[in-house]
Chain A
Amino acid sequence: MTAARLSVRDVSWSPSHDAGNLLHATSFELAPGRTLGVVGPNGAGKTTLLRLLYRFHHPTTGSVVIDDDNIWDLSARAVARRVAAVLQEQPSDFALTVGEIVALGRTPHRRGFAGTSGARDKDIIDEALVRLNLSGLANRHLGTLSGGERQRVMVARALAQEPRLLILDEPTNHLDIRNQLEVLDLIRTLPLTIVTSLHDLNLAAGVCDDILLLQSGQTMGFGPPAQVLSEAAVSDTFHVVARREQLSHSNTDHLTFHLHAKGPPR
């Protein structure tokens, strides 16, 4: 696996000419192998930004550049060989097995009629299944799996794509604590460039190298978590009173949130 360099240059997006921008000019650079967390309140433009990165939306202005190539200068297939996305879409139950879903990741790599799959395809699929601890479930139907298992299937499918940039949209949503931690652990260990939207700021601070803080389509901050997720910035962005506190046993920072400025004196 190789990781991609991602440059987002003055990217903005609006759904139509007369509508306002859902995302205002946004720029950042992500070095190969780094993990970026995109955080912000509901409707801040997180999903819009991700859609611009995986070539679902065409930017109104600016460009998304992956390893020196503007993604709109490449074909959809060529981009699909570099960028994989794990979205919140739930596959309908069409009786596909876990193995068959993961095999979909090979789609952009296949050539020719009916996309014959080679031995290398099979190795890659098996590797993805093993990596996500799904080998025993390869022949199970997606419909029979738990939420956490399904999420792992979708990540394995994305890895079978052999991407250099992996995009995850709220990967911990609807997962129990153990599954959340497993997904985050995976994000931490994958040698890819990763962009993920996350709701939980403390999880984001723990797992990400960089944080992009969004509010109403505006960038409120970009940089290391400790710097971007300051009490003032978080309070301002989320319209809450945020406090950075120290957990007494592990001595790690932890953000707490309150509706009103009250509580123990500081």
Chain B
Amino acid sequence: MREAISRGAWGGMPLFLLGGLAVLLASLSLAISVGAVPVPLGTVWSVFLNRLSPGLIEQSWSQGREAIVWDIRFPRALLAMMVGAGLAMVGASLQAVTRNPLADPHLLGISSGSAFGAILALLHTGLFLGLLTVPLLAFAGALGATAIVLAVSRIADATSADRLVLAGVAVSFIIMAAANVLIFLGDPRATHVVVFWMLGGLGLAQWAQLIYPLVVLAICAAWLMGRSGDLNAMTVGDETASTLGIPVARFRLAVFVAGALITGVMVAFSGIIGFVGLMVPHVARMLVGGDYRRVLPASALIGAVFLLWADIVARTVMAPEDLPIGIVTGLIGGVFFVWLLGRRSAV
């Protein structure tokens, strides 16, 4: 692996992106094809093409198949890609501005804050802002949790890698406890749905709602990509970054807000899906090196593919039941975390 990174100026990026896109497309097709009702790959793309331009292909499949492919599995797979890409990019960016290889929206309590906000909207306040209520309150919760974690880490002087994560986990516990109180106090008929949503799941994806995560992701991803040079500088150190002309405190805050925005909207639509942000950037760095101009797009690609596959596993291991996808990513991510700890102590 080390050899792969050491190839230096790295002309391999276009090739990596091309290969990654091919894998992504293949994974997307497979994710739509696989399920309780298997649909042939040909039908998947015929439905897609027919939707893009009606009448292009003569319909040889049932209306039921069409509904499964277009109304259920396509939006679900697209949401999986966005959530995976988004959380991976958030993790990568947080790792740079905290100089902490363990930073992750889940471990830093940002996901818990989003969940708290979303539960508040789902069970208590009602949708007073329409469809945007849940994502907006999730974003507010994410921002609140971020502020608390930053304050705690400052008060407890826990800016080192391991102690920042401890501060995040501690805050995460407290917020989850508060969120559970909200569930406990909520309408018992609705709590079942909410508890399942919290374990992480993409089953609620609908075409009409995909626009929200898409817009947030597109804007934040573009901004982060534009700042990739500054993210590189932040990995060297706060003071050095500031001597390079970067307004360090303001920049770190902006990255946290962008991270809270992405995490908030993703949690609102998919519940808590942990460890993607921790794991994927490390894999990306092994493949393309440490320059954020490559780490960010690579993380987005790998995160999207990873979550498509996690969802395939979640839908098939206990078919016809859907296993909450958070269980799958938690299991894989937890093992990865242990491996990472072992590797770090070995260095």
**Measuring CB to CB, which residues of chain A are less than 8 angstroms from any residue of chain B?**
51, 54-56, 75-81, 83-85, 87, 89-97, 99-101, 104-105, 107-108, 110, 113-115, 138-141, 143, 154, 161
Cα distance, A107 to B230, chains bound together (Å): 8
Whether A107 contacts B8 in the complex (CB less than 8 A), given A97-B290, A114-B229, comes out as no
8 Å CB interface, B247-266 against A: 247
A123 to chain B, nearest CB (A): 14
Contact at B6–A141, with CB atoms within 8 Å? yes
Apart from A56-B243, A96-B290, A97-B289: 5 A-B pairs, beta carbons within 8 A: A56-B239, A92-B161, A104-B244, A114-B226, A141-B2
**B contact residues, range:** 35 or more
Contact at A107–B237, with CB atoms within 8 Å? no
Contact at A84–B243, with CB atoms within 8 Å? yes
Whether A95 contacts B285 in the complex (CB less than 8 A), given A104-B233, A139-B9, comes out as yes
Instruction: Pick the contact of A94: B96, B230, B238, B347 (CB < 8 A).
Output: B96
Cα distance, A96 to B7, chains bound together (Å): 12
The 10 closest A-B pairs by CB, nearest first: A139-B8, A95-B290, A89-B237, A80-B245, A77-B245, A108-B245, A94-B235, A96-B290, A91-B236, A85-B243
Which of A54, A96, A141 has the largest count of B CB atoms less than 10 A from its CB? A96
Closest residue of chain A to B239 (Cβ to Cβ) is: A87
Closest residue of chain A to B7 (Cβ to Cβ) is: A139
Cα distance, A79 to B331, chains bound together (Å): 49
Cα distance, A75 to B347, chains bound together (Å): 40
For residue A75, which residues in chain B have a CB less than 8 angstroms away from its CB?
245
B274 to chain A, nearest CB (A): 22
Give 16 A-B contacts (CB < 8 Å), ordered by A residue: A51-B239, A80-B244, A84-B243, A85-B239, A85-B243, A87-B239, A91-B235, A91-B240, A92-B99, A92-B101, A94-B101, A95-B285, A101-B236, A108-B245, A114-B228, A115-B229
Contact at B245–A87, with CB atoms within 8 Å? no
Whether A54 contacts B285 in the complex (CB less than 8 A), given A91-B235, A113-B226, comes out as no
Contact at B291–A96, with CB atoms within 8 Å? yes
Q: Any chain A CB within 8 A of the CB of B332? A: no
B231 to chain A, nearest CB (A): 9
Contact at B245–A107, with CB atoms within 8 Å? yes
Contact at A139–B237, with CB atoms within 8 Å? no
A208 to chain B, nearest CB (A): 22
8 Å CB interface, B278-312 against A: 285-286, 289-291, 293
Cα distance, A76 to B244, chains bound together (Å): 8
Contact at B245–A96, with CB atoms within 8 Å? no
Q: Any chain A CB within 8 A of the CB of B210? A: no
Closest residue of chain B to A163 (Cβ to Cβ) is: B243
Instruction: Pick the contact of A107: B246, B286, B289, B293 (CB < 8 A).
Output: B246
Whether A95 contacts B229 in the complex (CB less than 8 A), given A56-B239, A101-B236, A108-B244, comes out as no
Q: Any chain A CB within 8 A of the CB of B5? A: yes
Closest residue of chain B to A54 (Cβ to Cβ) is: B243
Interface residues as binary, B83-115 with A (CB distance below 8 Å gives 1, 0 otherwise): 000000000000110011100000000000000
Contact at B236–A107, with CB atoms within 8 Å? no
Whether A79 contacts B245 in the complex (CB less than 8 A), given A97-B289, A100-B291, A104-B232, comes out as yes
8 Å CB interface, B204-237 against A: 225-226, 228-230, 232-233, 235-237
For residue A143, which residues in chain B have a CB less than 8 angstroms away from its CB?
347
Contact at A94–B290, with CB atoms within 8 Å? yes
Closest residue of chain B to A85 (Cβ to Cβ) is: B243
B233 to chain A, nearest CB (A): 5
Whether A85 contacts B290 in the complex (CB less than 8 A), given A107-B245, A141-B2, comes out as no
Instruction: Pick the contact of B239: A79, A89, A113, A161 (CB < 8 A).
Output: A89
Cα distance, A140 to B289, chains bound together (Å): 11
Cα distance, A108 to B242, chains bound together (Å): 10
Cα distance, A114 to B240, chains bound together (Å): 20
Cα distance, A83 to B235, chains bound together (Å): 20
Cα distance, A81 to B244, chains bound together (Å): 8
Instruction: Pick the contact of B240: A85, A93, A141 (CB < 8 A).
Output: A85
A19 to chain B, nearest CB (A): 18
Contact at B232–A96, with CB atoms within 8 Å? yes
Whether A92 contacts B240 in the complex (CB less than 8 A), given A97-B290, A100-B291, A139-B6, comes out as no
B88 to chain A, nearest CB (A): 16
Contact at A76–B247, with CB atoms within 8 Å? yes
Closest residue of chain B to A84 (Cβ to Cβ) is: B243
Whether A83 contacts B236 in the complex (CB less than 8 A), given A95-B290, A115-B229, comes out as no
B43 to chain A, nearest CB (A): 41
Contact at B240–A87, with CB atoms within 8 Å? yes
Contact at A76–B239, with CB atoms within 8 Å? no
Cα distance, A236 to B247, chains bound together (Å): 40
B335 to chain A, nearest CB (A): 22
Interface residues as binary, B145-175 with A (CB distance below 8 Å gives 1, 0 otherwise): 0000000000000000100000000000000
B163 to chain A, nearest CB (A): 15
For residue B235, which residues in chain A have a CB less than 8 angstroms away from its CB?
91-92, 94, 96
Interface residues as binary, B7-44 with A (CB distance below 8 Å gives 1, 0 otherwise): 11100000000000000000000000000000000000
Which of B239, B244, B293 has the largest count of A CB atoms less than 10 A from its CB? B244
For residue A94, which residues in chain B have a CB less than 8 angstroms away from its CB?
95-96, 99, 101, 235, 285, 290
Contact at A99–B243, with CB atoms within 8 Å? no
For residue A113, which residues in chain B have a CB less than 8 angstroms away from its CB?
226
A183 to chain B, nearest CB (A): 17
Cα distance, A105 to B226, chains bound together (Å): 17
Closest residue of chain A to B284 (Cβ to Cβ) is: A95
